[in-house]
Structures are given as structure tokens and as C-alpha cells.
Amino acid sequence: MCTEKIQESLMRTFICILLLSFTQINIYSQEKRVHPIRILVITGGHEYNKETFNEMLKSLGNGFTFSIVEFPAAFDMFNPENRNSYDVILFYHMWQKITSQQEITMADCISGGKPLVVLHHSICAFDDWEEYLHITGGKYFHKPTTINGVEYPACTYIHDLHFTAHISHENPVTSGENDFELFDETYKGYYVEPGVKILITTSDTTSTPVIGWTKMYGKSKVVTFQSGHDTPTFQNPSFRKLLRQAIEYVTK
Ligand SMILES: [Zn+2]
């Protein structure tokens, strides 16, 4: 084959590869655009009002679908073969029992790029697994607990309080939100990991001041809200908007 023909053949191959790449990118971006955000909701270990909680999830709109799986069955969802069946994890559980293999698989799934939104009593889960507080960025202590050599006393909670949530930082999660009133349960004395980006605070003295934050865990964005005990918060338009914007933010 003469040099000219070799060059022509190489050029054709190059153009073919280029066209194939563009087709793949196009298919991929279309897939990303057309399907709704699939939320894997993980519950278990704490009762809640399923009817009004599911109404809140439905209120997110047509851009979202959700499936609810309870622990311990939900541990399987972190296995590599199941990770493509959802786009984002929503924690609404207070599960405690976990094996070392389950710890490794869950941490790998989230740090590897599966985004997470954490609600309310989910910061009270997995008391004996320290890495969990690095995933959520916060931890309620049921018993005195030592973190980095500092001992923290057990936390406290109070139900049915009216208080104000202050938007402390403008970002896509809090975009368009003003300070708003909540009727919810507060927790006091929980740990908030240094370095999280604070989104929402309260000056209510029964609560730890920081009640909403975001952080990275490995490759994943994580957003955590302390609020969300029961129906009044599930039905709160500002909270619903925060939840929707948090899910959109972590999946982008
Ligand atoms: Zn609660």
C-alpha cells in the first residue's frame, strides 16, 4: 500500500471513531435528559406516617420516581449489580445493626458516586459505626460517644416545637427560599462534622444551631436536614421545596 492510501485509510478510521463517539455521547445525554430522577428511599428502624411521607414524595412532581426499601433488605441495594437501578439515595431510617461487609459495601457505593439526601432520624442510625458520621456529616448520640478523642454526652430531643429555620447560605439547595416556620422535633447536642457547608440554622435553644448542611463524601454530594419528624413538616411547602432542590442538586 502506498503512503497516500495508508493515510486515506487512517483518516477514514479516524472519522468512523469520531462519528461513533458522537453517537454514543448523544445517546448518553438523551438518556440523562429523558428519564426522571429515580429515588431509592431507605427506611427501617423507626415508625413514620407513610401516607403523608409518600404524599411529600409524590409532590416532588413528574421529574421524580421513588421506590421504598426497608433495612435490612435495603443493604442489597448497595451491591454493585443494583447500583444502576436508582440515581439518588434518600435516607429516612434509623437502622442500627450492620456487619463489617455491609459497612464496606455501603461506603463504597456512596463514595463511588451515588449521591445521598439524609433526613431527620437517619442521623441517629448506626451508633457503633463511626464512618457513618463522615457519610452524613452529623451524628445524634444515644449514649456518650468519643469522636477524635473528645467525649460527647448523649443528645436530647423535644417533640412538637414551633421554631424558625434560617437560610444561612445561598446555594442551589436553598435557592429562592426565605426563612420559614417549622413545627417539628428538635435534637440538641448532635455532632456536626467540621468542614460541612452550612445551609440552614435555627436559634431555638432546644436545638443544635446547624440544622441543614451539604458536604462531599468521596465523589458524591450529600445533603442532610435534621428536620422531618412528621406530617406538619412533610406538608410544609418550604421543606418540600428544599427536599426537591436537594435531590436535584446532589444528582447534578
Ligand atoms: Zn423524630
22, 32, 17: which is closest to 63 by C-alpha? Answer: 32
Q: How far is the CA of 35 from the centre of ligand 1 (A)?
A: 33
CATH code: domain of residue 57: 3.40.50.880
Judgement on whether residues 54 and 122 belong to the same structural domain of the protein: yes
Q: Are residues 115 and 28 in the same domain?
A: no
Residues at Cβ < 5 Å from ligand 1 ion: 121, 185, 229
In the reported structure, the alpha carbon of residue 166 is separated from the centroid of ligand 1 by a whole-number distance in angstroms of 20
Q: For the residues 47-55, what does the mean pLDDT come to?
A: 98
Sign of CA dihedral 249, 213, 175, 242: positive
Same domain, 16 and 131: no
At 153 the three-state DSSP class reads: coil
Do 16 and 60 lie in one domain? The reply is: no
Residues 24 and 137 in one domain: no
Residues 82 and 187 in one domain: yes
Based on the fold, state whether residues 179 and 203 are members of the same structural domain. yes
Residue 6, pLDDT score: 53
DSSP 104-120: HHHHHHHHTT--EEEEG
Q: Measured in angstroms, how far is the CA atom of residue 3 from the centroid of ligand 1?
A: 75
Predicted confidence (pLDDT) per residue in 57-93, tens digit: 999 999 999 999 999 999 999 999 999 999 999 999 9
Strand order across the beta sheet in which 197-201 lies: 64-70, 37-44, 88-93, 116-119, 220-225, 210-217, 197-201, 156-167, 180-188
- Name the phi and psi angles at 193, rounded to 5: -60, 130
Task: Kindly tell me the number of DSSP H helices and DSSP E strands found in the chain.
Answer: 6, 13
Q: What percent of the chain has pLDDT over 70?
A: 87
- Verify that 23 and 122 share a domain, yes or no: no
Separation between Cα atoms, residue 109 and residue 220, nearest integer Å = 9
Q: Which residues contact 147 (CB under 8 A, 6 or more apart)?
A: 130, 133, 139, 191
189 CA to centre of ligand 1 in angstroms:
15
85 C-alpha vs ligand 1 centroid, how far in Å? 29
Average pLDDT, the chain: 91
Q: Are residues 93 and 206 in the same domain?
A: yes
- Cα of 93 to ligand 1 centre, how many Å? 10
What range does the domain containing 111 cover?
35-251
Same structural domain, 182 and 211? yes
> Is residue 9's pLDDT more than 80?
no
pLDDT, position 33? 44
pLDDT digits (tens, 9 = 90+) for 209-239: 999 999 999 999 999 999 999 999 999 999 9
> How many whole angstroms from 46 Cα to the centroid of ligand 1?
8
What is the per-residue pLDDT for 4? 58
10 with 90, same domain: the answer is no
Tell me the per-residue pLDDT of 100-138, one tens digit each, with 9 for 90 and over: 999 999 999 999 999 999 999 999 999 999 999 999 999
Residue 26 is predicted with a pLDDT of: 41
pLDDT of residue 27: 41
Task: Report the separation in Å between the CA atom of 96 and the middle of ligand 1, taken as the mean of its atom positions.
Answer: 16
How far, in Å, from the CA of 185 to the mean position of ligand 1? 6
Q: Are residues 14 and 93 in the same domain?
A: no
Cell 447536642 belongs to 189
For residue 170, what pLDDT band results from cuts at 50, 70 and 90? confident
Number of structural domains the chain divides into: 2
Region 125-154: what's the mean pLDDT? 97
Contacts of 93 (CB under 8 A, 6+ apart): 42, 43, 44, 45, 46, 70, 71, 74, 121, 122, 125
